[in-house]
């Protein structure tokens, strides 16, 4: 839980704007990463403010460049970079705090309403997708270029990770897999239980093809005798 740098009031989850004094808080990278601004000016523009994004180095496992807007503090990650940052930042989580996850999932307010924004790279409208199970964060994603997080959302996702959100996601994944396997097994048994096509002959109903009772006594001797008779009849 983050607090406002100006008045110390608790900040709403997933938001950088204080409800009490209205000041904007730079919480996403504070205490989360050491980062340096990169000399390189990015060609990419902020989908919220329309100004150029600044390339910064998060120094996660060496050089790790992402883009950031100085104005709204939104962040742009290339594909899979966000996951990598979360993995590197939040470690040693072994338990799922279900009540915390429930509150994280329900309290996300955000500073923007439901709106579609353009990819900073290709300018096509991005998709709004739920990030993870019960994170409460809807991220804007361009399938080709990456993910946009509004200010405060990275912090929110870190809280989600710490509460075991990733573990919950994996747990759901395993459960889903088990359900699918059980359904496949049931389907296999259903197919196996069906009679083979044209399976009328050769069943063991106790009658021969002409409806008479089958002869069970000494079939071997019977065979030998008939073979012998055939032999001498030649
Ligand atoms: Zn405040
Ligand atoms: Zn911006
Ligand atoms: Zn794009």
- For residues 99 and 29, the model is more confident at 99
Looking at all shown ligands, the one closest to residue 19's CA atom is 1
Give the whole-angstrom CA distance, residue 172 versus residue 169: 5
Ligand 1 geometric centre to CA of 12 (Å): 11
Helices (H), 10-111: 81-89, 98-107
| Domain range summary for the chain, segments of one domain joined by + | 36-171
Token pair recorded at residue 90: 């939040």
Residues with CB under 5 A from ligand 1 (ion): 4, 6-7, 9, 18, 20-21
**Mean of all residue pLDDT scores within the chain:** 82
Counting ligands in written order, the one closest to the CA of 125 is 3
Q: Is 83 helix (H, G, I), strand (E, B) or coil?
A: helix
Name which of 89, 48, 94 is nearest 67 in CA terms.
48
Q: Which of 31-40, 108-117, 122-131 has the highest mean pLDDT?
A: 122-131
pLDDT at 112: 80
Phi, psi of 205 (to 5 degrees): -80, -5
Cα–Cα distance, 55 to 192 (Å, whole number): 60
The answer to whether the predicted template modeling score (pTM) of the entire model surpasses 0.75 is no
- Name the pLDDT band for 59 (thresholds 50, 70, 90): confident
Q: Which residue has the tokens 């600044």?
A: 54
Q: 129-151, pLDDT tens digit by residue?
A: 989 888 888 999 999 999 999 99
The span from the CA of 71 to the CA of 125, in Å, is 21
CA dist., res. 127 & res. 106, Å (int): 21
Q: In the prediction, which pLDDT does 2 show? A: 78
Q: Are 151 and 13 in contact (CB under 8 A)?
A: no
Mean pLDDT of 114-119: 92
What is the mean pLDDT of the segment spanning 75-102? 90
Q: What is the pLDDT of residue 43?
A: 83
Residue range 208-230: average pLDDT?
A: 59
What is the distance in A from the centroid of ligand 2 to the CA of 214? 89
pLDDT at 220 over 90: no
The residue ranking higher by pLDDT, 85 or 36, is: 85
């Amino acid at each position: 839980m983050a607090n406002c740098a100006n008045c110390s009031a608790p900040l709403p989850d997933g938001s950088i704007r204080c409800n009490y004094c209205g000041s904007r808080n730079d919480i996403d990278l504070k205490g989360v990463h050491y980062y340096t601004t990169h000399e390189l000016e990015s060609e990419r523009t902020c989908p919220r403010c329309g100004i150029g994004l600044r390339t910064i180095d998060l120094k996660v496992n060496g050089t790790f460049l992402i883009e950031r807007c100085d104005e709204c503090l939104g962040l742009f990650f290339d594909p899979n970079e966000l996951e990598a940052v979360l993995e590197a930042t939040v470690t040693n989580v072994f338990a799922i705090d279900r009540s915390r996850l429930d509150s994280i999932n329900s309290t996300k307010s955000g500073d923007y309403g439901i709106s579609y924004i353009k990819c900073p790279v290709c300018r096509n409208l991005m998709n709004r997708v739920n990030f993870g199970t019960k994170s409460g964060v809807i991220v804007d994603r361009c399938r080709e270029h990456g993910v946009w997080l509004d200010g405060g959302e990275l912090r929110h996702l870190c809280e989600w990770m710490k509460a075991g959100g990733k573990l919950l996601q994996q747990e759901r994944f395993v459960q889903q897999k088990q359900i699918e396997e059980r359904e496949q097994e049931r389907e296999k048994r259903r197919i196996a239980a069906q009679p083979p096509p044209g399976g009328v002959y050769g069943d063991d109903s106790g009658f021969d093809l002409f409806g008479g009772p089958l002869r069970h006594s000494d079939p071997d001797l019977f065979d030998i005798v008939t073979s012998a008779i055939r032999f001498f009849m030649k």
